[in-house]
Structure 1
Amino acid sequence: MTNISNGSLLRAAFLTALTGVSAIALCAPAMAQETAPVPAAADDAGGIDIVVTAQKREENLQAVPLSVSVVGGEAIAAQGGVNLENAQYLVPSLNFRKGGTSLNQALFLRGVGTINFSIAAEPSVAAVIDGVVLSRAGEGFGDLVDIDRIEVLRGPQGTLFGKNASAGVVSMVTKRPEDSFGGTVEASYYDSNEYRARATLNIPLGENIRSRVTGFYSEYDGNLRNIALDRKVNGYKHYGVRGVIEADLSDAVTVILRGDWRKANDDCCAEVIGTVPTNAAAAALSGTNINGDETRRVNQNLLTQTKEESWGVSMELNAELGNQTITSITAYRKWDNTEIRDGDWLDRAYVGLNQLHDIGPQTSKTFSQELRLSSPSGNFFEYVAGLYYSRAESQRQFTRDSLICSASTLAAVSPGLIPCSTALGVSTIRSVTGTTDYGSIFTNMAAFGQVTLNVSDRFRAIGGIRYTADQLEGNLIRQTNVGGASAGGINPNFDAGIYNNGSPVAGTPNGLPVQLKKVNDNWSGKAALQYDLTDDTMGYASYTRGYKGPAYNLFFNLGTSGAGVIAPETVDAYEVGLKNSLFGNRLILNLTGFYAKYNNYQANNPDIVAGVVVTRLTNAGTVSTRGVELDMMYQPSRAFSLNGGLAYTDAKVDQFRLPPGATEAQRVPNGTRLANAPKWKGSLGATYKIETSGFANIELGAQGSYQSSQLYELSPSAAVRAGTTVKGYGIVDVSAGLVSPDNGWSIRAQVKNLFDQSFASSIVSGGPGGSYRYIIPREADRYFGVTARVNFGSEK
């Protein structure tokens, strides 16, 4: 008789239920689509009307008792945006933590997020595209292609969106096919050899079948000069395709098939050394003109790169089942990412300065299934209920190669700086190599529901609950040619899974791979009250209990002290808000106050492992965030519009918890501001259209953003915190364009960072000789671009 575990039985029963309801949906009569285009301008009556799906059903933005910011796809395009990094300049509560590769980047909302270096940990801000939750943060940083809008939901959203939304959700909604033929061809040039091209076709395939396909290509040389390789770096090359087919199977059943494929080859992001090292590395870096965030040169003999390929397919089915609406979203995604990194930031190995090069290919795949049942709107009792299942697998092979010498007969290139040589008898050089294979499997099942009681025409009560069952599996095995003590940043000493030239290292128990497993469940939910104070003003108050599942700190240099499970993170959040639609909906003014307390906060903290500065995930204790947010949209006429926002965020450590094996010197003081959490952040944009009655109308635009100082490293050292703090800065973009009266063509010119304000998008410790490493984004320099676009058919 076959043995089947309880977990396997539960998964089988859960998937059987999902499949059964999907089959019912295919046979049922159906309903409207889940998402709809958001008007970017005032409606015919002159008012602003924005539809969102923040609560898994179509609703007017002003009727949703949540703090939501909506950014249209055209606004992102006007920013010259390539990915979500640019959205941070439009949404004040959103911050983007840039890393050396997309694996190491993260989103933060209200000062809370997870810098996710571990392969067995999840983000705190969920990235969602067309209803599909992306399992890993890096998957959400692809090109924003044919985007209709981005909805930013602030605060815990786990009731409807799941466990990796403990700080919020960024939901990307792509454009839908139309009933008539049309298309767009667009080409852009930005200085420093940046080229972009995109083409979209909207093709009806029959009376009830519509399709839309978009292809894109872009490339950029970069904003830094690598003097060792004599070339520009921090550029990219991206290309791919996205397509959607939408079919009305009957008057009541609609199915949407979506697919996308993307390939990226980035030489981003080389870290500049922004402060002068205290050792001989200072001479090796003298040609980089070290000057903080003004530094634009590196001297590295390995090209830091990210090579990435991703694709995904999904099927969304919407159907009526009596008066109810059933939605099924089935998705499969594949994401492969290879990180190549120069970890010594020098042009070669020197005596006492090891060369350290890393390469880490990772493969990831995710299957997910969501089923929802929704009641009609407008009744006394409204509800959304659903089931969710996902299985996300990742595997990585990370290799670190080091060249080490303690003496060399070569001549010094400057006092104290002597190159190593691989020639026999010249240097005491040796090559040290270590490879770690490690991976994770996240299995998640959930049942959720949210109800709204329309007590009166003005008063509503909302309640929601989610049950989550998690299973996390981890594996790790390491092989190295190092015996005994650590060398070259490679640690051979782990309880199991360590090999020395094919044989187990003496002192390890058995040389077997490390196998980890953790099972956990959780109840989370929300309660809210909503009241229409007037026909134009709605107020609400809510309490939310959020949850983020357990994690393991799997990374290359994992040691015994870091091998334990990272406990689940929970949050209690409170929010009050006023949503105002004034002057006949021409002015939207929304104000929100919030407070959230996170327990077992999962955060990366700097640590020394095998003589190398690393960041490892820990339960950092209790943290809190509180503040006020203001969102504004004003359109006094069709020719002129203003939009902007302002956020005050006070996010800090309440009670820091030392990780196992840490000393008191590693304690982060209570009251320390959280990383990636500026206290003040704001944006303001304006557009003005001039109708000339000639061959073209004129469009003018300006966008400004400002943020106060921002910490990047949550360190116990006051000196490190000061060194990794970016001072406050503001940037201004302007644009001007000619647009044909029928919107058939347009030419727009843009100046980014008009006042040439330099800044860093990341500063961390751990550079040679105690120096600090800076990442300098494209937006830190003034540049310009021109975009030409032709629209035809339905796209006009």
Structure 2
Amino acid sequence: MRHSSVLFATSAVLALAAIPAHAQSASPAAAQAADAAPQAAEQSGGLEEIVVTAQKREQNLQDVPVAVSAIGADQIEARGVATFTDVARVSPSLTITENTNATGSSINLRGIGTFSFSIGIEPSVAIVVDDVALLQQAQAFSGLNDIARLEVLRGPQGTLFGKNASAGVINIVTQGPTKTLTGSVGAVLTTDDQRRIEGMLSGPLTQGVGFRLNAFYDDRDGYVKNLNTGHDLNGERSYGVRGRVDVEAASNLDVVLTGAYSNTKSNGLVRTFRSVNPGASVFGAPIAGSIVGIEPSDDNYKIRLDTEPENVSKQAMFTGHATLDLGGANLVSITAYQDWRFNFIEDLDTLGTPTLLNTADPTSILPNGSSAVANFHAKNFTQELRLVSTGSRRLDYLFALFYANGDTTRDYARGPNAATSWDASAKTETFAAFAQLTYDITDTTHLDGGIRYNHEKIGASFLNTTNVAVPPANNASCLSECTGSGTDDRVTYKVSLRQDVADQVMVYASYATGYKGQGFDISTGFTPTRAANPVRPETSQAYEIGVKSRFLDDKVQLNLTGFWTDFKDFQAQGGVTLPDGTIIPQLSNVGSLRSRGVEAELSARPTRLLRIDASAAYTDAKIREFANAPCYTGQTAAQGCLPVAGGATFQDLSGATLANSPKFKYNIAVNYDVETPSLPFDGFVTAEWAYQSRVKLDLLGSPVSYQGAYGVFNGSIGIHGRDEKDFRVALFVNNLFDKSYATSLGYTGSSNAQAVAQLLPRNSRRYFGIRTRVGF
């Protein structure tokens, strides 16, 4: 702990408290220039300059040798990006796989993501909020509020963002204080019974002190009808508040303090039946009794459940960000603490009729079937200290130290069928040192290089609290607490060469190594063997070439990227199917993967009133080697499920496509402003079309897990004041053509007479709404 004590003592000189929101290292002059960019673009009729922090310093998007999708507050509002899942419409190769609760969802970039039930495995795509990475991926699945900018960094970003960014980063930057006292009140009302209100107040408190306070309340009814109770499931109620204070503590010291809290309660997501074979059953109970009044189909929004789900997420984050201007360089300290609690209960059998405790005993009736309950608690402290060069120079540099200490606990219980219960914890402590240098070889040739050393210590504990009639020998099921630990040291690096081939045209090539830390498969079935053998780290080698260009007087921006990434020891969640049909999760290292493809992003402003944004991606993401993969539920020998000693089975997934990785994905958004000089307001029209090709939603390749290609159209029409702060009113439609699609598909029931269950997200249905905002 000596190294962390030195780091804390140094950073304490800078950080007056612990809390962030805006971890920028740019000077006030740079911030003013960024603020002025949209106005200058508006006057010239061209595209605004987009400033990003993809390399932990404020830079023009077009100067960064990284594949980045970025949109600002205006586009976020115009395109209706209101939830985290909406971010998938912003980036050409981002997909999000939703599950029955957020802890089972997956975020994927270029086909690479992490689907794991274990609290001991970090995501492949890091979620960073105001320069602070979230510990658990599930923390990200909440509403977006008061956002200044969204950045999606594609490809390994471990050099600057650490071991949980092996596939990329989603960087969320919230709004900061305004220079004058301003405020706004907004509301959303939809035909699917969403009612949302939000407010913001911002401005100076006194000389050198500014503040921003925003809050929201959101109440949305469900869209899946439980015929057993008449209740609407998959609804959500949430509220939250964020406060920020910017203090000019001295002429060369700026401090930003931020605190945020959110509370979200939902009664789903629940699955519905897409198809049911005659005679299908779950735990000895015929499914037929639970589909009375229901027609299983790909647009079935009805279910019968005897246990209605409930998910509750409570999250708090406090950050302190201090910047000391040393003259020619800034010393930056970022101190953060996050606390996240998540609880869920869900129906295990997905039925609304009684099941049997023992399928061989018709008298062992369970009137309310079986359910599963879990409680999570994650805490994480992080400290980062950076020295960042400022001003114009031939050599720019960033040197940094980083420390993190995270602790996640989980208890889980299910039954009476497939009964199990356990308590577990996962700990991680990380120390890292990293650097990045940019050298201008000539006025038009630039070399970027970065390196990171990462030291990590992990630990796990697991206590099986299941009541068993005959305890196994040698504590094989952790009836006494099983513990494990591990350490790892790793060096990753990145190098890129940029060449300015013309005014506002840059080409680049880069090579990067990626790394995702080892972890424990903490889930049902944990054993001393798992405790002694953490899942190995996954590593990657990434090659990327790109072109970033602007032309026609800043009216057109075109960025092209080609990428090729090889992964080794990829961490993947599978499952082992027991004789009674119960699936036991199992995390393992896939031999190797390959993700390669081409991405294109276009923004155009042919006239001052018309803006077009488009993106497209072709992604070939495949498993190169996974010879001993688990079989999917119901897989036969003819379908490739082969037996091995001990009664286990396996399949060879080498050559298979990765889950939720569409070959083609594209998006086109159009915004047209309508001037009405004779009226005290102007109008606008927006239209957006998003399409993706056929995908499989199960890594193991179940034939029923394929979602066909689909496209979704969203649009809006409205009016706004001449000063955008005055007011804005929009009538909008989601999924105009009512195209139903699933984000999860798989078998449920016994393996000899199966049924297919699906998860249909809210946006798979058409709904209309009105969105208003009034400023003052």
TM-score by length of 2: 0.90
Match 2:441 to one of 447, 455, 459: 455
Which residue does 1:532 correspond to in 2?
A: 500
Matched, 1:645 2:630: no
| Alpha-carbon contact 1:737-1:748 (below 8 Å) kept | yes
The C-alpha deviation readout for 1:280-302, integer Å capped at 9, x for no partner, is 43312322634332111111111
SS in 2 for 1:765: strand
Which residue does 1:436 correspond to in 2?
A: 422
Which residue does 2:707 correspond to in 1?
A: 726
Q: 1:558 to 1:461 in 2, by over 3 A?
A: same
Q: CA deviation at 1:46?
A: 3.2
Q: 1:222 to 1:129 in 2, by over 3 A?
A: same
Name the CA distance, whole Å, in 1 between partners of 2:37 and 2:198. Answer: 22
The C-alpha deviation readout for 1:288-318, integer Å capped at 9, x for no partner, is 6343321111111111221111111000111
Q: CA deviation at 1:132?
A: 0.4
SS in 1 for 2:113: coil
What are the residue-to-residue correspondences of 1:312-711 with 2, within 5 Å? 312-351=317-356, 352=359, 355-402=369-416, 434-484=420-470, 496=475, 511-559=479-527, 563=531, 564-609=533-578, 611=580, 612-658=582-628, 665-693=649-677, 694-711=679-696
Name the CA distance, whole Å, in 1 between partners of 2:74 and 2:218. Answer: 18
Alignment: residue pair count: 730
SS in 1 for 2:177: coil
Q: 1:712 to 1:401 in 2, by over 3 A?
A: same
Q: CA deviation at 1:24?
A: 6.2
Q: CA deviation at 1:21?
A: 4.4
Name the CA distance, whole Å, in 1 between partners of 2:337 and 2:626. Answer: 39
Name the CA distance, whole Å, in 2 between partners of 1:449 and 1:38. Answer: 31
Q: CA deviation at 1:79?
A: 4.2
The C-alpha deviation readout for 1:719-753, integer Å capped at 9, x for no partner, is x1x21010000000110001122331221100110
Q: CA deviation at 1:223?
A: 1.3
| Alpha-carbon contact 1:335-1:365 (below 8 Å) kept | yes
Q: Look up the equivalent residue of 1:482 and give its one-letter code.
A: V
Which residue does 2:189 correspond to in 1?
A: 189
| Alpha-carbon contact 1:619-1:659 (below 8 Å) kept | no
Name the CA distance, whole Å, in 2 between partners of 1:648 and 1:169. Answer: 19
| Alpha-carbon contact 1:557-1:609 (below 8 Å) kept | no
The C-alpha deviation readout for 1:489-521, integer Å capped at 9, x for no partner, is xxx7585386xxxxxxxxx8xx42000101111
Which residue does 1:755 correspond to in 2?
A: 737
| Alpha-carbon contact 1:128-1:140 (below 8 Å) kept | no
The C-alpha deviation readout for 1:150-186, integer Å capped at 9, x for no partner, is 1000000000000000000000000110121011100
What are the residue-to-residue correspondences of 1:56-71 with 2, within 5 Å? 56-71=56-71
Q: CA deviation at 1:78?
A: 3.8
Q: CA deviation at 1:44?
A: 3.6
Name the CA distance, whole Å, in 1 between partners of 2:213 and 2:717. Answer: 29
Q: CA deviation at 1:561?
A: 6.4
The C-alpha deviation readout for 1:506-562, integer Å capped at 9, x for no partner, is xx8xx4200010111100010110000111210000000000000111013435665
Q: CA deviation at 1:447?
A: 0.3
The C-alpha deviation readout for 1:630-673, integer Å capped at 9, x for no partner, is 01111123311000100000000001152799956523331100
The C-alpha deviation readout for 1:593-626, integer Å capped at 9, x for no partner, is 0000000000111322574124321101100100
Q: 1:653 to 1:302 in 2, by over 3 A?
A: same
SS in 2 for 1:533: strand
Structure 1: 5+ residue stretches without partners = 1-10, 404-431, 485-491, 499-507
Which residue does 1:210 correspond to in 2?
A: 210
The C-alpha deviation readout for 1:237-288, integer Å capped at 9, x for no partner, is 0001011101111222111001100001111201112220442433123226
The C-alpha deviation readout for 1:453-480, integer Å capped at 9, x for no partner, is 1000100111110000011100000112
Q: Look up the equivalent residue of 2:170 and give its one-letter code.
A: V
Match 2:303 to one of 292, 298, 301: 298
SS in 1 for 2:672: strand
Matched, 1:740 2:724: no
Matched residues, percent identical?
A: 31
Name the CA distance, whole Å, in 2 between partners of 1:328 and 1:496. Answer: 47
Q: CA deviation at 1:395?
A: 0.6
Q: CA deviation at 1:231?
A: 0.8
| Alpha-carbon contact 1:46-1:586 (below 8 Å) kept | yes
Which residue does 1:262 correspond to in 2?
A: 262
Name the CA distance, whole Å, in 1 between partners of 2:312 and 2:472. Answer: 31
SS in 2 for 1:340: strand
Name the CA distance, whole Å, in 1 between partners of 2:156 and 2:27. Answer: 28
Q: CA deviation at 1:764?
A: 2.5
| Alpha-carbon contact 1:40-1:72 (below 8 Å) kept | no
Name the CA distance, whole Å, in 2 between partners of 1:516 and 1:200. Answer: 47
Which residue does 1:23 correspond to in 2?
A: 13
| Alpha-carbon contact 1:668-1:714 (below 8 Å) kept | no
Which residue does 1:32 correspond to in 2?
A: 27
Q: CA deviation at 1:188?
A: 1.0
| Alpha-carbon contact 1:37-1:51 (below 8 Å) kept | no
SS in 2 for 1:14: helix
Q: 1:288 to 1:12 in 2, by over 3 A?
A: farther
Q: Considering only aligned residues, what root-mean-square deviation do their CA atoms show, in Å?
A: 2.3
SS in 1 for 2:2: helix
Q: 1:765 to 1:378 in 2, by over 3 A?
A: farther
Q: 1:38 to 1:463 in 2, by over 3 A?
A: farther
| Alpha-carbon contact 2:575-2:630 (below 8 Å) kept | no
SS in 2 for 1:292: coil
| Alpha-carbon contact 2:163-2:516 (below 8 Å) kept | yes
SS in 2 for 1:115: coil
Q: Look up the equivalent residue of 1:464 and give its one-letter code.
A: G
Q: 1:43 to 1:188 in 2, by over 3 A?
A: same
Name the CA distance, whole Å, in 1 between partners of 2:205 and 2:579. Answer: 61
Name the CA distance, whole Å, in 1 between partners of 2:499 and 2:228. Answer: 64
Q: Look up the equivalent residue of 2:623 and give its one-letter code.
A: V
Q: CA deviation at 1:37?
A: 5.6
Name the CA distance, whole Å, in 1 between partners of 2:668 and 2:192. Answer: 27
Q: 1:376 to 1:613 in 2, by over 3 A?
A: same
Which residue does 1:5 correspond to in 2?
A: none
Which residue does 1:45 correspond to in 2?
A: 44
Which residue does 2:235 correspond to in 1?
A: 235
| Alpha-carbon contact 1:497-1:514 (below 8 Å) kept | no
Q: Look up the equivalent residue of 1:300 and give its one-letter code.
A: L
Q: Look up the equivalent residue of 2:406 and give its one-letter code.
A: A
SS in 2 for 1:600: strand
